[in-house]
Structure 1
Amino acid sequence: MEKIPFGKPHISGSELAYLQQVLDSASLSGDGAFTRKCQAWLENQLGTPKAMLTHSCTAALEMAAILSGVGPGDEVIMPSFTFVSTANAFVLRGATPVFVDIDPHSLNIDPHEIRAAITPRTRAIVVVHYAGHPCDMDAIQALCQQHGLLLIEDAAQAILTEYKGKKLGTIGDLGCLSFHETKNVISGEGGALLVNNPAFFERADVIWQKGTNRKAFFEGLVDKYTWVDVGSSYLPGELIAAFLYAQLEQAEQINQVRRGHWALYRQLLLPLAQAGYIELAEPLPAAGENAHIFHIMLPDAGQRTCLIQYLAQRAVSAVFHYIPLHSAPAGRQFGRAHGDLPHTDRVASSLLRLPLFPGMSASQVHYVCSQISQFFQCKHDPAPHSS
């Protein structure tokens, strides 16, 4: 059996043609024609008033942190079960991440835990839509309104996923997307900041343009541009934007293929879940979510390690994440956990992600599932290992 990678970048077919257009234009720096095309696509398809391409989702989060105005002494509530960029962006501004537990079913931040963690120092809530599955945005928005807090969405994994008719990333004041090669829609590296609150429009442009009023200059509003605020080089080059635009044109088709693989995985693995060997995620609706991740939950870290090794020996790559931020060295140094986080700890030690990418075949999904079934049928090492 040919090796089944955990992921494989999808090529739409138009990338080379669009890259050639950029090369023919002899203009490779950012904020060109393809940057504007991508931003217009995001605004039209997602329903956000302002989309800004960035060189990564990390950059989008850093821009969001600057726009939030947080600084030393301020607290920002977020899940511990997330990638480090979610917290780093706010640590770089001097704020303290406050890590709270996740809901054990959705694996998203628990609104009840958010409520308990709010203090007079809280300035913002950052939600992470894990696996492209929406957080309970109604409850979280209500908390933000009640306490006067900014709401920032880390929608890195959630391109085109909907929550009650609204696309994720467009519900909070600010939203952040990722186009890293591991995501559904890719540009190698890349991201976008969605600015949904008009109060941030003008400053977002300045921060994006390295802290200058360059946009105002090109619009004829000032006779020269200069340094007026903090900022950095957050925009990507035009080659990245051209590649991304080819992907955006096929975004819904990509998600549709992934949903098909997701549904097949669940169908084939359901007998193992019913027998109590594994836990499966809640069923996805037919549309509205993007099937970014298919994961299973093992009884403990020992069994997960054994299964990873078993699959690797049979040409299947499966991975886990994340090391919870509240237990990481930098998490303990720069942030704090609000109480115990038992669900986060359990999920982090038990969750296993299976291969899922558009170019995957149904026969490969069948093979992965057959190998997982054989693992649990093996008699030579049936006992789970404790973590």
Structure 2
Amino acid sequence: MIPYNKPYLSGSETAYIEQAVRAGHLSGDGEFSRRCHRYFEQHYGLHRALLTHSGTAALEMAALLLELQPGDEVIMPSFTFVTTATAFVLRGARVVFVDSSPLNPNLDAAAVEGLITPRTRAIVPIHYGGVACDMDPLLALARQHQLAVVEDAAPAFDGYYRGRRLGTLGALAAFSFHETKNIQAGEGGLLAINDPGYVRRAEIIREKGTDRSAFFRGEVARYQWVDVGSSYLPSELTAAFLWAQLENAEAIQARRCALWRRYTEALQPLAALGVGLPFIPDYATVNGHLFYLVCRSAQERTALLARLRERGILAVFHYQPLHSSPFYAPHHDGRALPWAAHYADCLLRLPLFVELSEEQQQYIIDAVLAFYR
């Protein structure tokens, strides 16, 4: 069976973990954490980068930093992973879902303005598949209505919008290093802080509501409980693993993007049949996170998934629309979101991982083309 995903090991992960063990610092914010922080601050130009134990944790920190109150509204796409929403629902916010674009699964930026009310506090776009949302209209709306923009950049490592790195556009952004991501540590995440006004409080929230970080820098005589917070630090073992990946990020990205381009070129004939291929706007780049097809119907997708599985290929689908989920449907305002439903019914992801060989990829391509013939 060709799996959908296989976590890639650069070769240095276990050596760095052993190095961390021998150094005797296994809790968070040791030497490997500092290296990872410097990488993102230098390569991305962030005011502050803070590792977390998951992308979900980074989003939860963002929700805490916004000081949301029950009844506040947050606008986000329905076609996204559940933690995009749960991080804000945990703070009592009301999620207002926006439909996807007809062109790709990202949110329809033109539909956001009509959803803004006096209770709106934030807009949370996700860069689906590592391909940028159209951020300029969202940032303009945020300035006009004094809203925060929090980028869910979980799949967006090394993605760009008009020459700017994804994760640097909103006041805050969340990255994921789950094993399905381009750069992975099994689990793990990062809160990217672009507004310096959030830095000090973010450190406190991340350290259980204490000023422990300031204490270790010698800025306070003792650390105390000064705010709300939780334990959001990853262990130094996670950071050591992640550092090995970051050292090899250029090679990892080159391989993934090459596989993405090969899929695009080989499967282009399907577009003439009405099968959707990834649409990359002129303001966005490809980061090689995933490759998908949009089948012409749910029945066609089911048949293609079954045919590929018969041939030893594990393709997958994902994201049931959050607005119609068992948990949130009673709270949704009743608007139909047809494009979110369409992608939920018809989108199929093909295997894409660093160690996918050219022979395996050609086998997958041949199987897909044979199905449509």
Shorter-chain TM-score range = over 0.9
Aligned position for 2:87: 89
The answer on whether the counterparts of 2:322 and 2:328 sit within 8 Å (CA) in structure 1 is yes
The aligned amino acid for 1:296 is: L
Match of 1:304 among 298, 301, 305: 301
1:177 alignment partner, SS class: strand
1:352 alignment partner, SS class: strand
Aligned position for 1:281: 278
Shift of 1:304: 0.7
Aligned position for 2:133: 135
Name which of structure 1's ranges 348-357 and 300-309 shifts more when overlaid on structure 2: 300-309
Unpaired stretches in structure 1, ≥5 consecutive residues:
378-387
Name which of structure 1's ranges 357-366 and 172-181 shifts more when overlaid on structure 2: 357-366
Residue 327 (1) aligns with residue 305 (2):
no
Residue 183 (1) aligns with residue 181 (2):
yes
1:152 alignment partner, SS class: strand
Name which of structure 1's ranges 265-274 and 131-140 shifts more when overlaid on structure 2: 265-274
Unpaired stretches in structure 2, ≥5 consecutive residues:
none
In 2, Cα distance between the equivalents of 1:160 and 1:74?
Answer: 32
The answer on whether the counterparts of 2:131 and 2:285 sit within 8 Å (CA) in structure 1 is no
Shift of 1:126: 0.3
Aligned position for 2:369: 373
Shift of 1:329: 1.2
Shift of 1:38: 0.4
Shift of 1:95: 0.5
1:280 alignment partner, SS class: coil
The answer on whether the counterparts of 2:74 and 2:124 sit within 8 Å (CA) in structure 1 is yes
- Identity percentage over the alignment? 51
1:265 alignment partner, SS class: helix
In 2, Cα distance between the equivalents of 1:284 and 1:93?
Answer: 34
In 2, Cα distance between the equivalents of 1:97 and 1:172?
Answer: 18
1:279 alignment partner, SS class: coil
Shift of 1:284: 8.0
Q: TM-score with structure 1 length normalisation? A: 0.94
The answer on whether the counterparts of 1:96 and 1:336 sit within 8 Å (CA) in structure 2 is no
Aligned position for 2:343: 347
Cα deviation, 1:5-34, whole Å, max 9, x if unaligned, reads 000000111112111111111211111000
Shift of 1:283: 5.0
The aligned amino acid for 1:308 is: L
In 2, Cα distance between the equivalents of 1:352 and 1:71?
Answer: 38
Aligned position for 1:380: none
Match of 1:294 among 275, 281, 291: 291
The aligned amino acid for 1:280 is: L
In 2, Cα distance between the equivalents of 1:85 and 1:50?
Answer: 23
2:175 alignment partner, SS class: strand
The answer on whether the counterparts of 1:258 and 1:357 sit within 8 Å (CA) in structure 2 is yes
The answer on whether the counterparts of 1:100 and 1:338 sit within 8 Å (CA) in structure 2 is no
Tell me how large the CA RMSD over aligned residues is.
1.4
Provide closer, same or farther for how the CA distance between residues 141 and 77 of structure 1 changes in structure 2, counting only shifts above 3 A: same
Provide closer, same or farther for how the CA distance between residues 339 and 205 of structure 1 changes in structure 2, counting only shifts above 3 A: same
The aligned amino acid for 2:239 is: A
The aligned amino acid for 1:376 is: Y
The answer on whether the counterparts of 2:73 and 2:121 sit within 8 Å (CA) in structure 1 is yes
In 2, Cα distance between the equivalents of 1:104 and 1:362?
Answer: 32
In 2, Cα distance between the equivalents of 1:275 and 1:136?
Answer: 28
Name which of structure 1's ranges 203-212 and 104-113 shifts more when overlaid on structure 2: 104-113
In 1, Cα distance between the equivalents of 2:98 and 2:73?
Answer: 12
1:12 alignment partner, SS class: coil
Aligned position for 1:75: 73
In 2, Cα distance between the equivalents of 1:10 and 1:4?
Answer: 15
In 1, Cα distance between the equivalents of 2:286 and 2:304?
Answer: 28
2:305 alignment partner, SS class: helix
Aligned position for 1:382: none
Match of 1:63 among 61, 64, 70: 61
Aligned position for 1:197: 195
In 2, Cα distance between the equivalents of 1:176 and 1:184?
Answer: 15
1:11 alignment partner, SS class: coil
In 1, Cα distance between the equivalents of 2:372 and 2:130?
Answer: 29
Structure 2 matches for 1:15-94, cutoff 5 A? 15-94=13-92
Cα deviation, 1:78-113, whole Å, max 9, x if unaligned, reads 000000100000000000110010112132111221
In 1, Cα distance between the equivalents of 2:184 and 2:167?
Answer: 17
Cα deviation, 1:195-239, whole Å, max 9, x if unaligned, reads 110110110010011100112222222221111111111010000
Provide closer, same or farther for how the CA distance between residues 183 and 344 of structure 1 changes in structure 2, counting only shifts above 3 A: same
In 2, Cα distance between the equivalents of 1:338 and 1:206?
Answer: 39
1:239 alignment partner, SS class: helix
Aligned position for 1:315: 312
In 1, Cα distance between the equivalents of 2:49 and 2:256?
Answer: 25
The answer on whether the counterparts of 2:71 and 2:93 sit within 8 Å (CA) in structure 1 is yes
Aligned residues: 372
Cα deviation, 1:334-353, whole Å, max 9, x if unaligned, reads x4257221111111100000
1:295 alignment partner, SS class: strand
In 1, Cα distance between the equivalents of 2:216 and 2:254?
Answer: 41
